[in-house]
Amino acid sequence: MPRSESIHCDVLVIGAGMAGMAAALFAAKRDRAVVQVGIPGEIIYASGLFDVLGVHPIEKGRLWRNPWAAVKSVSRGLPNHPYARMSVSDIQTALHELLSFLADAGLPYRRYKNRNVDLITPAGTTKRSYAVPQNMWPGVIAWQHKRKCLLVDFPGMKGFSARQIQSVLRGRWPGLRTASVPFPEPSTCQYPEKMAFSLHQPGNREKLATAVAPLIGDAKGVGFPAILGSHRTVEVVDHLRKRIGVPVFEVPTLPPAVTGMRLKDAFDRSLPSIGVRALYHKKVLQVNTDRKGRFECHIGSEHPELIVHAKAAILATGRFIGQGLVADRKHIRESLFDLPVSQPENRTRWHETDFLDPRGHAINTAGIEIDDSFRPLNSKGRPAYERLYAAGSILAHADWIRMKCGSGLAIATAYAAVNAYLRQLQ
């Protein structure tokens, strides 16, 4: 891009994780001119599962079957939690809109309306979530009814062992059997993304089905690690199902995962089609504001390459992995606007002595404070900027990993931030 190039937009979304992608989607769908900037690396660590809320209170480890009842409980018990600033109907609308977008992009999801589901993990444990990729849904049903199933792995593939999963689940899923079969392209087994890509070749799918079909026996389904296609996964799974003769499902793998790459691919392909101008692999190097509160952001990799003039900005840079928050020996700070960060008064209180302390660790709830319009607050408790909004894991008071609400929180708060901006225009 020419160094002197300038772009004018309504909304600049800063961040390319789940919250950033969702914010760009919601703003563009509401006829706003959107520019998105960020390093889209964080999203490849996604499991592909969309949690709304599974655990509350954390210290009691209470699991919730109904996620909406859980959200209402959090809103009553944790008034500073981001969910407490939203209605259940808004969270539901946000999820529905994003899942519809992904379905149109070729990545459909399945869910029950008012119920979380459990599915197995690569560690052999179970995970509670809300919406799961369609390719994983037959596994949810199989686990729910403890149907006889075959679980397949591949020699040379690291981080996924069917026998280990079976050994952990043996007492709870006695009908689960395992098999290890050669992958059609053995040289790719060190690289799950290459395995996934190779299965877009019909010949490789035929070889895989030919190896697995004789092992089915009385199994009512067959599970594979989540490498059944890097995109157009429904096509890959349907082909295998027809050739093998029983339902086929995927089991999540360890991150970075193909499931995260699928999400990234869906957003990368489809957001530009609704008008989002994506400046991925770039970052905001400097921010200025004018007298009307508009943002002038210098964008580039190491040196400024262009300037984005935005009427509003949504901060969705994430926490430490996304570098929205950075920590030194004494403090946690916000990296772009130097916003105050809610955090323990000194580093010794960031963590409890016991790693598995049921109370969790205070550092997990560190983040920026916001008002009811999702605007970050300054040290005086007032909006730091009139039209700066924030969404996702950078927000304070949300121990999203332990509460099992990561994706739901990212999507819902992005929706809230966009709607707050639109209300301010009225």
Q: Convert the pLDDT of each residue in 176-215 to its tens digit.
A: 999 999 999 999 998 999 999 999 999 999 999 999 999 9
Contact 85, 101 (CB under 8 A): no
State the pLDDT at residue 13: 98
Mean pLDDT, the chain cut into blocks of 10 residues (426 residues total): 76 96 98 94 85 92 95 95 97 98 96 96 94 97 97 95 96 96 93 95 97 97 96 94 97 92 94 95 92 91 91 95 87 94 81 72 88 96 96 94 93 98 89
The CATH superfamily of 6-104+262-320+358-425 is FAD/NAD(P)-binding domain (3.50.50.60)
245: CB partners within 8 A, 6+ apart = 213, 216
Q: Alpha carbon 386 to chain centroid distance?
A: 28
DSSP state of 329: S
State the pLDDT at residue 1: 43
- Rounded distance between C-alpha atoms, residue 317 and residue 404, angstroms: 20
Q: Convert the pLDDT of each residue in 128-180 to its tens digit.
A: 999 999 999 999 999 999 999 999 999 999 999 999 999 999 999 999 999 99
273: CB partners within 8 A, 6+ apart = none
- Rounded distance between C-alpha atoms, residue 120 and residue 108, angstroms: 20
Q: Where are the domains of the chain?
A: 6-104+262-320+358-425, 122-251
The beta-carbon contacts of 95-101 under 8 Å, at least 24 apart in sequence, are: 95/50, 95/52, 95/130, 95/131, 95/408, 95/411, 95/412, 97/25, 97/26, 97/29, 97/415, 98/22, 98/25, 98/411, 99/50, 99/131, 101/25, 101/270
DSSP state of 159: T
State the pLDDT at residue 363: 81
| CATH for the stretch 122-251 | 3.40.50.1860
State the pLDDT at residue 5: 85
In whole angstroms, how large is the CA radius of gyration of the chain?
Answer: 22
The CA angle 273-278-280, to the nearest 5 degrees, is: 140
DSSP state of 381: S
